[in-house]
Amino acid sequence: MDSVEHYQAFFKTVEGTPLPWLETLRAPSRERFIAHGFPDTREEAWRYTPLRSLERARFTPSKEVHAIPSEPLDLDLMRDAYQVVFVDGHFSEAASCLEGLPKEVYLKPLSLALKAPGEHLAGLFENTETASCHRLEDFNRALFSEGLCLDIQPNYHLEKPIVVLHLAQQAHGLNTLQHRLRIAPGAHAHLIEVFIGHDDSPSLTTSMTYAEVAENSSLRHVKLQREGKASHHYSGLRLQLKRSGRYRGHLSSLGALWSRTEIHAQLGSSAECELEGLLLASGRQHQDVETRLDHCGTEALSRQTFRGIAHERGRGVFTGRIVVAPGADKTDAGMSLRNLLLSSEAEIDARPQLEIHADDVKCSHGVTVGQLDEEAVFTLQSRGISEAEARHMLTFAFANELIERIDPASARASIRDALKASLPGSDFGSEP
Amino acid sequence: MLSIQHLEARAGEQAILNGISLEIKPGEVHAIMGPNGSGKSTLSNILAGREGYEVTHGSVTYEGKDLLVMKPEERAREGIFLAFQYPVEIPGVSNIYLLKAALNAIRKHHGQTEVDAMDFLQLVKSKIKSLNLDEQFLYRGVNEGFSGGEKKRNEILQMAILEPRLCILDETDSGLDIDALKIVADGVNALRSPTRSFIMVTHYQRLLSYIKPDVVHVLAQGRIVKSGGPELALELEARGYGWIDASLNH
């Protein structure tokens, strides 16, 4: 049985929902996936990211009975936040906490929302592009049955972050989620997505987040991917920034054996989009981050700052595409990709791509791939620090410049710890 | 404390040191002067253990141990400190972090426990004040965006915290205005003690007006061509290095 046949069987389990709009959304994706299967490296967007290992494995949607975390989720970043926990792709009511949610905020797991689908729900699934999906997105769309639905009323500022935790614990489990966010005009939300898993349980998690950030509203977003070492991870953000909408996001992609993370944004006039991110590929990890920013309106601003670290036989791929539409004058777009190679077998491919169809624009990009500064290594050694520690410190410092900018502090601490644990060399002591 | 015997070294094919011998006793301050390209910085770098030089002859003994076989970090832990001519910027590693990591590495080497966080902060704050640096400076990346004078003062701060036994100052006076020079000199003078020695590498006499050396050596073409008291520095200042070169070529 090939992989398409294997997954086709599961499509039926999510079919037959009585909601025509949902079926309209799924059908084209399902058909495309059945006809063509997973993307392959002959396609430009997947050139450096083979899906062989993902295709060879046979993942099976996990059963809901396991929707209790196998260990307590004592993560710092869960404090002072609304908590939505998905275990093996299923909402875990026991582990979640939505207490004290204001009436201006509609927040429900999709499985519960589907039981009483009102106008909120249908509204959240409106305006979804169906033609331009690639087939991994199709795969997600054909199968998702869970996720987060968030709708915030106009001018409401939800200051407390919403933490969405995805825990993968079943071996060979398939977890498929789709999160839908709508931030109404003048409103504000803060979303923190975390993906964690067991190192010894290979699994596949695909998770798409669709966010509509309306006029003058803002969304802050932190995403930490530290799935188990044997797992596959695909996640994407599809962001619509309306006039003067603001988005500020940090992505740390540290875990999984194979990972692809996408951020696609459409910027309306005077919108602001600030993306920062880190990728770390060690062992035989493959980390792919792809961004595409479409400057559709005038006077929009975008900033992208990414850092990649690869060591051992790790492989990093970064593709950053900026498209400035005709008439999107006074666009101001900047992209900086800095990469660090720590071993001769590590590899990072960084591809900035600019496509500019307007005249009056400011677009800049800078890419570097380098090694640690040996002068700095010697300076640290000359102060009594061992060479291994010096390298660890400098590698951490390379990433820490971005981590220091993460808000809130709890997420910052959590990502810092996750990074330290993943870097080569021993821990070199506590923060002063 | 330090004994250099007939030291010869090269960088690539280029011979830079051509037989240097030098004895430094505890508490002594030695100035090494000389024109550009005479080998002053090479000597400092070899003592600190920087890569890129090949010692082809001679020996360096520090406190009875063969210095040249030790790694840079071992030398530092044993009490050797090089204040760099061009301190590098290390973005992302804060000053305070470096100071603490370095101090603890040295303490650990001597079988001591890690420094208490409060004691450490107090120590650093008192030192930083005497060097006329802002406290905020501690939380910035090492030398990141610092002025030339701030970088040099930062080297002295590190020296004051780590309390080395042998301090090597490589052209610490270069790029300093007179006020900064005084602050740096005061910092160094505060560290002088009967058990701590200094090697001050400098091009100009000016620094030696503030930090009085016991011995002045003149280095030219990779050799010590003249040694004397502080008056030698004044003579060099008055006559330039030309007469040294002229006497060598005869």
> How remote is the C-alpha of A125 from its chain's centroid?
19
Q: Which of residues 152-181 of B touch A (CB under 8 A)?
A: 158, 162
Helix (H) or strand (E) holding A35: helix A20-36
Cα angle for residues A89, A95, A96 (degrees, 5° grid): 85
Residue of A397, A399, A432 with shortest CB distance to B100: A432
Express each pLDDT in A343-364 by its tens digit. 999 999 999 999 999 999 999 9
Strands B197-202 and B29-33: parallel
- Do the beta carbons of residue B78 and residue A413 sit within 8 Å? no
The tokens for B29 are: 């301050």
pLDDT at A423: 85
pLDDT for B75 equals 97
3-state secondary structure at position A347: strand
Contacts of A403 in chain B (CB under 8 A): none
A332 torsion bin: left (phi>0), alpha (psi -120 to 50), beta (else)? beta
CA distance A411 to chain B (A): 18
Domain boundaries, chain A: 3-267, 375-432
Q: How far does Cα A130 stand from its chain's mean position? A: 20
Contact assignment for B92 to A396 by CB distance below 8 Å: yes
SS3 sequence, A111-141? HHHCCCCCHHHHHHCCCCCCCCCCHHHHHHH
pLDDT at A313 over 80: yes
Element (H, E) at A361: strand A361-370
Question: Which chain A residue is nearest to residue B50, measuring alpha carbons?
Answer: A378
Which of the residue ranges A121-135, B5-19, B35-49, B155-169 would you say has the lowest mean pLDDT? A121-135
Residue whose structure tokens are 């049985």: A1
Enumerate helices (H) and strands (E) in chain B, giving the number of each. Answer: 9, 12
CB B46 within 8 A of CB B130: no
For A384, the closest of B76, B90, B114 (CB atoms) is: B76
Q: Who has greater pLDDT, A61 or A67? A: A61
pLDDT digits (tens, 9 = 90+) for B172-209: 888 888 888 998 899 899 999 999 999 999 988 888 88
Residue of A nearest to B85 (CA): A379
Residues in chain A whose Cβ is within 8 Å of chain B: 373-376, 378-387, 389, 393-394, 396-401, 428-429, 431-432
B46/chain A closest Cα distance in angstroms? 12
Query: pLDDT value at position A70?
Result: 64
Pairing mode of beta strands B65-66, B54-62: antiparallel
What is the reported pLDDT for A429?
44
Do residues A198 and A227 make contact, with C-beta atoms less than 8 angstroms apart?
no
Counting residues of chain A whose pLDDT is more than 90, the rounded percentage is 75
For residues A275 and A406, the answer to whether their CB atoms sit within 8 Å is no
Nearest to B91 among A384, A401, A432 (CB): A401
Strand order through the sheet with B2-11: B14-24, B2-11, B54-62, B65-66
Q: A432–B88: do the CB atoms touch at under 8 Å?
A: no
Nearest 5°: CA angle at A285, between A280 and A288?
65
**Cis ω for the linkage preceding A408 (within 30 of 0):** yes
Instruction: Identify the residue among B88, B94, B112 best suited for mutation to test binding to A, counting A beta carbons within 10 A and taking the highest.
Output: B88
**Helix ranges restricted to H, chain B:** 40-48, 72-77, 95-109, 117-130, 148-162, 178-191, 206-210, 230-239, 242-248
CA neighbor of A57 nearest in space, from A268, A256, A225? A256
What's the gap in Å between the CA of B122 and the closest CA on chain A? 13
This complex has an ipTM of: 0.95
Q: What is the CATH number of domain B2-248?
A: 3.40.50.300
3-state secondary structure of A90: strand
Exposure on the CB side of residue A12, measured as CA atoms within 13 A: 4
How far does B214 lie from chain A, in Å, by closest CA? 26
Model pLDDT, residue A344: 94
Q: Where are the domains of chain B?
A: 2-248
B106 part of contact set with chain A, CB < 8 Å:
yes
Predicted confidence (pLDDT) at residue B27 exceeds the cutoff of 50: yes
Structure confidence by residue, pLDDT tens digits, B35-73: 888 899 999 999 999 999 999 999 999 999 999 999 999
Instruction: State yes or no: pLDDT of A91 exceeds 80.
Output: yes
C-alpha dihedral, B149 to B85 to A339 to A381, nearest 10°: -110
pLDDT of the residue at A428: 46
